[in-house]
Amino acid sequence: MLIILLHVAALYGLARALAPEFTSSVEDTVVSAFTVTVTAPPDPPPPENQPEPDEGAQGDPGQQAVPQPVTAPETPIEQQPVPLPQASSTGTATRSGAREAGDGTGAAGSGTGTGSGNRGGGQGGVAVSKPVHISGSIDNARDYPIPEGGRSARRGTEVIVRVVVGVDGRARQCSVYRASPDPEADRITCQLVENRLRFRPAQDANGNPVPAPFYWRQRWF
């Protein structure tokens, strides 16, 4: 069969080479004898009316996550013994127990120490106000001797003395705080302040009179 087909193909090629017009007419006659009908697939039916999806709509909610409970392991607490304080005693021991009186500087009761201001031999409360000069003056030029060069040599100078005003309003313990050019005049000023001047004493927070320092300025004109 294969040999026959080869001979037919050779004859056909020879015929197209020697008589091309005859071969073309024969091909048209043979091709026209065959009719091929091509049928196109039918058009799909039109889609039904359906609402278009909203591109901005919210999606379906996801499954809610539920955390698993976490429990910390309990740590055992070690109990430490608490030492109890020693009970107060009324005995004669000096290292423990309560004491109502003694010879120290701070017993709960009365003693021979410096005290808190109400009892004892201490100074007492702290002054919250200053002493105030209420009477007496130093204004007589005859109280001071005439210095060398006359009274004009002392004119325009001053001395500041420091005194302690007691609870009775009198000045004591006078000392020169800022000296003048005349030491004798400074010494006389201390005497006059202690002898002539009277003061209202300073007071503590409870209104009790207490000793307090005071500074007196004496000027010569």
CATH number, residue 159: 3.30.2420
Higher pLDDT, 65 or 172: 172
pLDDT exceeds 60 at position 167? yes
pLDDT exceeds 50 at position 114? no
Compute the average pLDDT of residues 107-117. 47
Residue 178 covered by a domain = yes
Q: Which residues pair with 127 in a beta bridge?
A: 204
Residue-range definition of the domain harbouring residue 180: 132-219
Instruction: Please report the pLDDT score of residue 30 as a whole number.
Output: 46
Residue 210 covered by a domain = yes
Residue 202 covered by a domain = yes
Residue 185 covered by a domain = yes
C-alpha dihedral, 89 to 95 to 101 to 105, nearest 10°? -150
Compute the average pLDDT of residues 196-216. 97
Instruction: Please report the pLDDT score of residue 32 as a whole number.
Output: 47
Q: How many other C-beta atoms are found inside a 10 Å radius of the C-beta of residue 218?
A: 20
Instruction: Please report the pLDDT score of residue 76 as a whole number.
Output: 65
User: Among the listed ranges 22-36, 57-71, 83-97, 148-162, which one has the minimum average pLDDT value?
Assistant: 22-36
Domain count, the chain: 1
Higher pLDDT, 197 or 4: 197
- Does residue 5 sit in helix, strand or coil? helix
Phi, psi (degrees; rounded to nearest 5) at 163: -130, 165
| Alpha-carbon gap, residue 169 to 196, rounded angstroms | 11
Could you tell me which of 212, 211, 139, 215 has the C-alpha nearest to residue 177? 215
Residue 143 covered by a domain = yes
Mean confidence (pLDDT) of the chain: 72
Residue 1 covered by a domain = no
Instruction: Please report the pLDDT score of residue 190 as a whole number.
Output: 97
Residue 151 covered by a domain = yes
